[in-house]
Every structure is written in structure tokens, then in C-alpha cells.
Amino acid sequence: MPTAQYPPEKMMFQLTLRRRGISDQAVLRAMEEIPRELFVEPADRADAYRDSALGIACGQTISQPFVVAYMTEQLQLQKHHRVLEIGTGSGYQAAILSRVCSQVLTLERFRTLADGARARLSKVGCDNVEVLLGDGFDVPASAGNFDRIIVTAAMERIPEGLTERLDPGGVLIAPVGPPQDTQTLVRIIRTDAGFERKELVDVRFVPALPGIAREL
């Protein structure tokens, strides 16, 4: 591939992910293929490939690239998996997931964000992603169960109704802890004997809120 397609900031972006321990080749390819600059605010495009979170509409954020890659890697995705995402935001995490799995259903409580993400995902050809305006604490029963679930906003505790949507052998990743403070990224695996829980790394996310936003 011509060097001209790799601006210095994007080359450093990939190097940083590798240096910080991301080794799943499918995840690294997805991070390379998806143009992050399309998922940030226009004023922030020059900083799209910095390893930092950035503000988006409705008081939300797009997570730093390492956190996106790390959470995706910890899901241990396979190509046939069906994934539920709680908290669409700009659509970036869903776009990354779409390159590594079969199908993504992503729920967003803000209509503005849902509409914007839907347009961006269509633009980059993520045809296996469905964006739904909805409540992440009340996933529609019609959605069925999932191989993987990823939550991209902080929950004080993971609702039982969410873990019960995991298929046997399924994996859930979520930041757990108090809002406006440091949370811990938690991985839950559904086994024949119940649920195995492991704490991974400290993170900071905006809080997950119930219901559909009345405005925005």
C-alpha cells in the first residue's frame, strides 16, 4: 500500500496500540481501516489519532483509541459472533466491531447521536450494524440474545437483565463504578456453572443513564 495513505499521525496511532499491548491482528486491522477522523467533531479532526478521549455531541465522548482496541480485544470476537453495544455515541466502536464480527446491534439514548452514527456507519460501509434509539437498561426482548455485549458508559452495577442476554459462553465487557470517578473495566463470561467475573483495568467513562433522552 502506498506510503502516502499513512500520514505520520496514523502510523504513530498504530505503533502506540502495539506498544501498549494490543496484539489481535483482526482488531489492529479494524483500527487501521476505520477512518477515526469521520467519527469525531470537525474541530477535533486534527487530533483524531491522538490517544485521548474527545468530546462529541450531547455531552458524550468518543473513547481514546487504546480503550476502544482493548475492549474489542478483550471480547475475544470471532467472525460469526453477534454483538450488542450499549452506547453508540459517534458510532466509532460499532464500526470497529463491525469489521471483526458478523452483526452489531447498538443502542443509543440520544436521537441526535443515533442519527449521526447511522449516517457515518453507512458512509464507511458498515452494513452489518443496526443503530437503534433505545434504553440500554431495557433491551427489547425481540432483540434476542448475543454472543458478546459491550457497554461504553459507566454503570454502578451491571444489571442482571443484561447478563441474562448472553448466550452460553458469551462475554460482556463494561466499565463499572461511580459516575464522575474512576471505574474498573469488568469482563463477565457466562459458563455452565454461572458467571465468571474478572476486573481488568481502571478507566473513565461518562455515566450510563436509563431511558431515552427527551431532548437531543
Nearest to 175, CA basis, from 147, 146, 145, 150: 150
Given the residues 63, 98, 122, 142, the one annotated as active site: 63
CA distances for 89 relative to 151, 163, 181, 199, angstroms? 11, 22, 20, 24
CA gap 40, 182 in Å, rounded: 23
Give the CA angle between residues 169, 90, 118 to the nearest 5°: 85
Residue that is written with C-alpha cell 502506540 in the block: 16
The bridge status of strand 54-55 relative to strand 61-62 is antiparallel
Alpha helices in 99-175 (DSSP H): 111-123, 160-163
23 flagged as catalytic: no
Residues annotated as part of the active site: 63
